[in-house]
Structure 1
Amino acid sequence: MNKFRLNIDGKEVFGIPGQTILEVARENDIEIPTLCYDERTEIYGACGLCVVEVEGNPKLCKACATQIAPNMIVNTKTPRVIESRKTNLELLLSNHRGDCRPPCKLACPAGTDCQGYVGLIANGKYREAIELIKERIPLPGAIGRVCPHPCETACRRGLVDEPISIAWLKRFAADHDLFGEDPFMPEIAPETGKNVAVIGGGPYGLSMAYFLRRMGHEVTIYEAMPKLGGMLRYGIPEYRLPKEILDEEISLIERMGVTMIPNVKIGKDIAFETIRRDYDAVCLGIGA
């Protein structure tokens, strides 16, 4: 195949028709900065950091999106190029958060730090991973099994090959902790002297109790059914969510100091007014 001869920064190089300036430059160890370019994905050319001067073209060209031509003369470090790159970078950063929130986290209804615990698991830091997960999800073993994982639909890794198995990794971290010698117990704030009644022992009520107890409040859960768990226990089959997993996670919440009272129907076995009178606050978590 015939090759094109071109000149980049005074260096004579060769490229195959159809290649971009950036591709030829990289093959010849000529540095052109980029932010949005990845050879595994479709060319986007949004960042504007790879602009170069091409002799005969009055406009700056994006090296990632401009194909080479015979006898092309390219300059990558002229004052005009450097100033344009600086301006483009300043514009990108002017309205940009210091810590980007990734699409997986934005897609998670609980706002879980998905990329955080995936990275911790990848580095073998399982204890730190479950601590991070439980900042948002008190029942990760159960949720890791039944969550429809919208985080994976939004995962940018899918642009390259396939999404990371975020829900399975959450489940792994939860099981590793749950059946280890020393399951993670969150730090509880100093006692506030306030007591809270949570009506409903499903995932919503259990989650409320978990976070309220972490804040130092005394918490009591009232549940109408014989066992706590709500839809997780009575609506999801055993093969999908083993009751052993659910029981262990509920047990951890109970060990935090949460009082759990099953087989009590508010308004029948105990008056709601009595609950309101005896507690500083009442939270309704009756679910569906």
Structure 2
Amino acid sequence: MIHLTINGKAIQAPEGATILEAARANGIDIPTLCYDKAVEIYGACGLCVVEAEGIPKLLRSCSAKVSEGMVINTESPRVVQSRKIAMELLMSAHDGDCVAPCQLNCPARTDCQGYVGLIANGEYDSAIKLIKNKIPLPASIGRVCPHPCEKACRRKNVEEPINIAQLKAFAADIDLNKD
């Protein structure tokens, strides 16, 4: 078992558990919007962010794994402000059909959120399959694409847009370098 502290409460969680799972198992509420046990985790909504001592960036509790001695704060002013911004961003440009701006602005209409989430979870084979649904040559396209998806990414309002074109090329390179 992993020992950690959330909001001053010492808890234990199984190795490999996410911060969100550990919190919920111990009666600590962390808000979520996109998290559901029945679907792939991709951490898109940003509402489940938490602050971990010694880590400069906020962590998405739905995907970040617990580690020994971790000290987590789920309600710091920084966390609360980030959640407010995330919710405002989600609601500000919501066109009702829930298609992300990255997908709307991609000339190939790829499922950017889908493959970025798969890559983040180390599921490179699934990511490249998803990319190849719309882009037959992702290693080349990932390097020459003018990435309008990144220009449209709402994350730039909170931190930086995700480098989607490079992630596409990264997944393609892994696929090309397989045995």
Q: Give the match for residue 41 of structure 2.
A: 43
Q: Give the match for residue 52 of structure 2.
A: 54
Q: Give the match for residue 22 of structure 1.
A: 20
Partner SS, residue 42 of structure 2: coil
Residue number among 6, 19, 35 corresponding to 2:4 in the alignment: 6
What one-letter code is carried by the residue in structure 2 that aligns with 1:38?
D
CA displacement at 1:41 relative to structure 2: 1.1
Name the Cα RMSD after superposition. 1.4
Q: Give the match for residue 65 of structure 1.
A: 63
Q: Give the match for residue 83 of structure 1.
A: 81
Instruction: Report the TM-score, using the length of structure 1 for normalisation.
Output: 0.33
Partner SS, residue 29 of structure 1: coil
Counterpart CA distance in 2 for 1:52 and 1:58 is 11
Counterpart CA distance in 1 for 2:98 and 2:33 is 16
Question: Between Structure 1 and Structure 2, whose CA radius of gyration is higher?
Answer: 1
CA displacement at 1:102 relative to structure 2: 8.0
Uncovered stretches (5+) of structure 1, i.e. residues with no partner? 104-288
Aligned residues: 99
Counterpart CA distance in 2 for 1:28 and 1:65 is 17
Counterpart CA distance in 2 for 1:58 and 1:102 is 30
Alpha-carbon displacement from aligned partner over 1:181-230 (angstroms, at most 9, x marks no partner): xxxxxxxxxxxxxxxxxxxxxxxxxxxxxxxxxxxxxxxxxxxxxxxxxx
CA displacement at 1:40 relative to structure 2: 1.2
**Percent of paired sites with the same residue:** 53
What one-letter code is carried by the residue in structure 1 that aligns with 2:20?
L
Partner SS, residue 25 of structure 1: helix
Uncovered stretches (5+) of structure 2, i.e. residues with no partner? 100-179
CA displacement at 1:29 relative to structure 2: 1.0
Taking structure 1 as reference, are residues 102 and 96 closer, same or farther at Cα in structure 2, changes over 3 Å only?
A: closer
What one-letter code is carried by the residue in structure 1 that aligns with 2:87?
L
Residues 231-246 of structure 1 mapped to structure 2, 5 A cutoff: none
Counterpart CA distance in 1 for 2:2 and 2:94 is 40
What one-letter code is carried by the residue in structure 2 that aligns with 1:11?
K
What one-letter code is carried by the residue in structure 2 that aligns with 1:47?
C
Taking structure 1 as reference, are residues 93 and 72 closer, same or farther at Cα in structure 2, changes over 3 Å only?
A: same
